[in-house]
Amino acid sequence: MVVVIDSRADMAQERILMKKLKKYHIGILVLSVLGVILLLWAIIATVYNFTGNRHTEHVVIEPKSKSAKYKNAAAVAGSRFCAEIARNVIIQGGNAVDAAIAATFCNGVVIPFATGIGGGDFIVIYLKEEKKCVFLNSREAAPALATEKMYTHDKESAQFGYQSIGIPGELHGLWTAYKKYGSKVIPWSDLVMPAAQLAKGFPMHKAMVNYFDRISKYKGRPEIEGLRSLYTSKFTGEFYKIGEIVSNYPLAKLLRVSANSQDPVQLFYNGSIAEGIIKEMIANGGIITIDDLRNYETHVTETLYADLGKYRMCGPPPPSSWTITQAIPRIVEMQYRDKKMFNDAEFYHTLIEAQKLAYGQRGHLGDYLFSEVSMQLAKNLTDRKFIKFLSKRVMDKSQDLEYYLAAAPAVLDSGTSQISVVDDDGNAVSLTSSINTAFGSKMLSKYGFIYNNQMDDFSTPGFRNHWGFEPTEANFIQPGRRPMSSMSPTIVFDPKSGEVKMVTGGTGGSKIISAVAQTLVRGLLLGQSAAEIVEMPRVHNQLTPFETEVEEDFSEKILEQLEKEHNQKMEKTDETLAIVYPITRDGDEYTVAADYRRESGNSPAGY
């Protein structure tokens, strides 16, 4: 049998198959092209945040700050040493209060230009079981011999020397916090001794080196020699360089004695240390007396509260500026009730206007124990109706200075340090401490700590500030009064569950207010984590000067839009617009970030 193969039939079938494959390939090609188009659209939409042609902020490629995530507890301070000390205290069974105390003593050793026993603190404590916050005010107070016009003819004496020193409150505040809210598990000595050991030798860092010019400014004056000598190498005769080991043995001894004392407050305010302090005052023209030390008290009260979204913020009454700080994100929130928030020019315009309106209220504020009006204004600023009133004053374009001022601008303060801690029970502490300007009064005690110059934070009658504004009576010097401060330690929690959402605070004088406010805006309104918050460039407007400062990496395009479309006066600065210390709760873990702007080699700690 012969089999005949019909090749024509096979060829026909092959042509049909090729047509089908061609259609299939065309379909695949079309789908691929569509896929590429959709991918490009997604990238463009992400970059522009779905805002069409609106220019949004830059994307962070490589973070400058160190951040970490922890399940149980977290801490951040002015130095990695201090954050690790706080973490270790919690691991050993201590609570957030214990940890913050230990870290504060540590801060006083490694960043003494900003804080220490010679200064004072604002301490905000969140108690999870009670879902409430308490405030311990251990800020420096005016001595009994202080008078309203004591600096009228000698302004320098409010900034330099023994007459600039307010009654130190830090040790009193830390001991009070320990006795009232400490865990009772960790002995007092275990909280102080790590700092005492560190005082025997720690590496110099850039943050302190940056401020040595504040000492050099007074070169040749005998009063500064003690401080200059402490930070001068015996081998080179020059200020210590970064990485060289610095020792402060008198401070180490004082801390060791305080650690082993049954009552360190008695020792410092009424015992042998107090006697030594008064001898220094008498010998150098200071006005603090033994009665000033004996009569000093830490004021303890519940904080003020304000709601932002579904969360509750808590912070101190005046002399803290927290009521100004909390107003800024709430004004921004009001502006975005019916629209989505993006990092565009409109967002920054709204943020700048909110800052101006809030700062405009600050001139009325003063120590609430001396001013009922000040406390009433503080409460008004947390009221939703007042925030709504301020929000309605946000215009599409910047207005003249007088539009924002409710009172003459307040005195501007300076440097600080900060501790943020959350423990493994969900309690939290935000503690801001200060000796005011870098190296405070520049007066070094024989006990190794630097005295503050917080008297410069008061206003003086008849003494117009640099901008020509009259001083505010709410902040005039009175014996026992505590001067206004920008310090704004803040804790945010969910009022239903009691879980901490954020712990934050800042350092950097009057810029603390705007920096902490932006931390709250980004964390609570934009949903950013602590790691994202610290990377974003900041804006700052405190009314005087009227220009808005922005950090160098701020978007040129947005800056141009703010100037042209919103009439904002913008100025880039190479200075740091404050430093923040945020911890955020993200899902079931904490994100904590050490702001790169501190330049002290700081990093977070936790477990």
Of the ranges 80-89, 177-186, 307-316, 541-550, which one carries the lowest mean pLDDT score?
541-550
Number of other CB atoms surrounding residue 509 within 10 Å: 21
Number of other CB atoms surrounding residue 38 within 10 Å: 10
Reported as a pLDDT band with limits 50, 70 and 90, residue 409 is: low
**Over the chain, what is the mean pLDDT?**
90
pLDDT given at position 52: 40
The Cα angle at residue 383 between residues 410 and 307, in degrees rounded to 5: 105
The C-alpha torsion from 525 through 577 and 429 to 92, rounded to 10°, is 110
Mean pLDDT to the nearest integer, 378-383: 96
Instruction: Read off the pLDDT of residues 314-324 as tens digits, 9 standing for 90 and up.
Output: 999 999 999 99
The reply to whether 436 sits in an annotated binding site is: yes
C-beta separation of 421 from 364 below 8 A = no
The reply to whether 276 sits in an annotated binding site is: no
C-beta separation of 501 from 494 below 8 A = yes
Mean pLDDT to the nearest integer, 546-555: 94
Pick the closest to residue 57 from 329, 333, 342 (CA basis). Answer: 342
Reported as a pLDDT band with limits 50, 70 and 90, residue 407 is: low
C-beta separation of 118 from 440 below 8 A = yes
Specify which residues 232 forms β-bridges with: 239
The reply to whether 294 sits in an annotated binding site is: no
Token output for 53: 């042609």
C-beta separation of 324 from 363 below 8 A = no
Mean pLDDT to the nearest integer, 448-472: 80
pLDDT given at position 424: 97
Res 90 pLDDT > 90: yes
Predicted TM-score of the model (pTM): 0.90
pLDDT given at position 5: 40
Instruction: Read off the pLDDT of residues 347-375 as tens digits, 9 standing for 90 and up.
Output: 999 999 999 999 999 888 999 999 888 99
Res 473 pLDDT > 90: no
508 vs 403: CA distance, rounded Å: 26
pLDDT given at position 21: 47
The reply to whether 486 sits in an annotated binding site is: yes
Reported as a pLDDT band with limits 50, 70 and 90, residue 431 is: very high
Reported as a pLDDT band with limits 50, 70 and 90, residue 92 is: very high
Please, what are the domains in the chain?
66-201+247-304+408-606 (3.60.20.40), 315-404 (1.10.246.130)
Pick the closest to residue 182 from 423, 529, 355 (CA basis). Answer: 423
3-state secondary structure at position 471:
coil
pLDDT given at position 53: 41
Query: Which percentage of the chain shows pLDDT scores above 70?
Result: 87
C-alpha gyration radius of the chain? 28
Instruction: Read off the pLDDT of residues 232-277 as tens digits, 9 standing for 90 and up.
Output: 999 999 999 999 999 999 999 999 999 999 999 999 999 999 999 9
3-state secondary structure at position 133:
strand
Res 311 pLDDT > 80: yes
98 vs 183: CA distance, rounded Å: 7
The reply to whether 16 sits in an annotated binding site is: no
Pick the closest to residue 511 from 576, 566, 570, 561 (CA basis). Answer: 576
Mean pLDDT to the nearest integer, 428-444: 97
Res 7 pLDDT > 70: no
Which of 416, 437, 460, 504 is the catalytic position? 416
pLDDT given at position 548: 97
At 288, which helix (H) or strand (E)?
none
Whether the CA torsion 606, 527, 514, 148 is positive or negative: it is: negative
DSSP for 403-459, written as a single string: HH-SSSPPPP----EEEEEE-TTS-EEEEEEE-SSTTTTSPBPTTSPBPP-GGGGSB
C-beta separation of 298 from 121 below 8 A = no
CA atoms lying within 13 Å on the CB side of residue 199? 25
C-beta separation of 352 from 539 below 8 A = yes
Reported as a pLDDT band with limits 50, 70 and 90, residue 46 is: very low
34 vs 278: CA distance, rounded Å: 81
Of the ranges 33-37, 44-48, 527-531, which one carries the lowest mean pLDDT score?
44-48
DSSP for 496-556, written as a single string: TT--EEEEE-EESTTHHHHHHHHHHIIIIIS---HHHHTTS--EE--SSS-SEEEETTS-H
Pick the closest to residue 267 from 443, 482, 450, 447 (CA basis). Answer: 447
Mean pLDDT to the nearest integer, 185-205: 98
Query: Which percentage of the chain shows pLDDT scores above 90?
Result: 81
C-beta separation of 226 from 444 below 8 A = yes
Reported as a pLDDT band with limits 50, 70 and 90, residue 2 is: very low
Of the ranges 135-144, 343-352, 456-465, 524-533, which one carries the lowest mean pLDDT score?
456-465
The reply to whether 457 sits in an annotated binding site is: yes
Pick the closest to residue 199 from 98, 77, 89, 82 (CA basis). Answer: 82
pLDDT given at position 39: 57
**Annotated catalytic residue 416:** yes
C-beta separation of 420 from 125 below 8 A = no
pLDDT given at position 28: 55
